Structure 1
Amino acid sequence: MGLTRVARGLAVAAVCLLAWSLAVTAETEPHDSAPGAPAETREGIWRAIFARPAPGETPAPPELVALGRDLFRDTRLSGSGQASCVSCHDPARAFTDGRKTAVGPAGAVLPRNAPALYNLAWGTSFFWDGRAATLADQARFPIQAVDELAGDLPTIAARLSADNQMKARFAAAFPGRAGGVTENAILNALAAYEKSLVSPTTRFDRWVEGDEKALSEEEFRGFDIFVGKGGCVSCHGGWRLTDDGFHDIGLPSRDLGRGALTPGAPGLPQFKTPSLREAARTAPYMHDGSLATLEDVVEHYAGGLIERPSLAPTVVRHLSLTPAEKASLVAFLKTLSSEPASHASDETSRPMLKK
């Protein structure tokens, strides 16, 4: 894991902090400031940090991705035969469910919010607590969890094997692999589909690409807060707007998240930084769904923090924002989501991007 992931995280943090320092220096200047002001250099740095990668090769054969897509919707993956992955990850809701916390098919209320599934091909660990190292590992948990799909993988494999058409699709998706419909093949197909889910481009992306008119004055003021006094970029940097790290952000929750995985004594209450891509469409927010709106999220960071020794050092203490600044920050956060007309394409696999 370790050193490679830590080194990459430190490098990203260092670049973001350098740009942040430039932003703070020029924070009071408008983005169209006079010639010679540092704003143009500052914008160039931020554009480089938030730039989406160029399109790359297709991550998996289309037959495999299509198989995973259909398995994602297949109720045979549940013990009851009445639920599937889309029960909690609805493509029409940017692969969330709109609930405070997820609800299992038997009505069990789960303790955590269902996260969005975009751009997972670049993820380094999965779940709010990071307990799964790969997407295939991740898929195993909800399938088998008694309060989620409550499925049994050997039984699922037998069900699918009895379907001649599905059996043929597995053979086509995994050419040359003996064994037919296996547990690993099911999980790998689901992972291939999830890796194909790349978030749509947004108005913020258009600004990053050089369109000066893509953001309004208010939205750009919100961006200045995001990368400046708000310090949001310290955890939400890069084109995916996440550092893949785990932090205590001062929520009044008894859930320890990653801290519960610490061997021996309980660790710190830390949760994975969610991506802000499509944030306007994935309410409610936080690991426990405790914040209903983006306005609530901003209020939390601007005066609602529970300050304790474990609070992440990247979180700005005593952040004070005026009502106008709060509104501007929310306006910017909404530019990280796609236009309504593009929402229908959520289920369509997009070209993969280079890692």
Structure 2
Amino acid sequence: MATRRLTVQTDLAPQATLDGTREGVLAGGQAGAREETRPRGVYEPVVDQCREFLARDSGVHHLAHYTGGIWDFALHVLADPAVRALPGRAEGPDLRSGYRQAGRMLIFQVERVGDYLADLRSGTLVRTVVESGDCVAVYVSLRPQVALVGITLDPARVWEADRGMAELIAGIRERVRLPDEDLGGFRRNAVPAAHAMSADLLTVYGDAGVDPVIRRAARITAAEVGPLDLHYLAYYDDFSLKFSVDCLTHPDLADYFTDISPEARRAKYGEVGDRAGVLAGDFGHAVRLVSRSRPRRLVLDVQQGAVFVRWLDTGRHLVGVTLDQSMVAAAERRLDMLRPRFEELFPLPAGGVVPPGALTL
């Protein structure tokens, strides 16, 4: 049975049009659009690849291209009946403009966080995923100063859209003879594998008097952290570290520490955990024109591994790390397998009451 193809519309910024005089809409777009409006030659191959990607029903519903943080063109399937049928979805010029603005704001936050993560010496930030309750925004770097931001409005298709974006970027980079950076570690398609308890684990508790439930959670975590994929995991409650477990000194990871010590990286990961409330506010603000829900998942995918943040509820979150780029997806899946265990050990207060003084977006 043939796969249904979606109706794709393309908006062009003035600098991306053939005549460079005004914002254009390609054929099939808004009523009254000039049929002859075309992207400039430098953009045309990328526009064609992005159009085909969306038409195949990739799970991405809006895709925008930026140079130096400035919008060049956007493609979307927001007017397609299947997309309009999603709960609470609509399409119009104002909404499309909001999506493009959200992309610009996301790029601004990515640049700030990328500078902050430079101390890890794990390479530049090449992929960022912000997931809220009703949408996901995926930032991916094509090359320095050039990026694509994809938005999916269907929470059930998050992984499909994320993986599709990685494959799209690999195809575009191949066209200009740039190597595939294996964004998200999807190329290997690894899954979390069972492993023996690592003998090189370090568990750090945030409080002197440790609650027995915290110790139990740390033991559960220790069984999952190891040199295969998930190399660090920390749990925070009321914005304070309760414990962290890592295997950063394991001999199999020695090659990742030629110019930085395990202690320095561990300290930086702790800073990320301490700043999780700020990150939630910053990235929630960036995508507020697309979603009013607070972020619940953040992926900071650098060239060598990734940092993951999972918000369990306001003030409580997990921070996970892998140093192996080919195992980013596997490490994130392992983290997601652990999340229900934490929700079981640390249930929400009755009625889901948010702790006093907690961050709200």
Q: TM-score, normalised by structure 2?
A: 0.24
| Structure with a larger share of its residues in helix | 1
TM-score of the aligned structures, taking structure 1 as reference length: 0.25
Higher strand share: 2
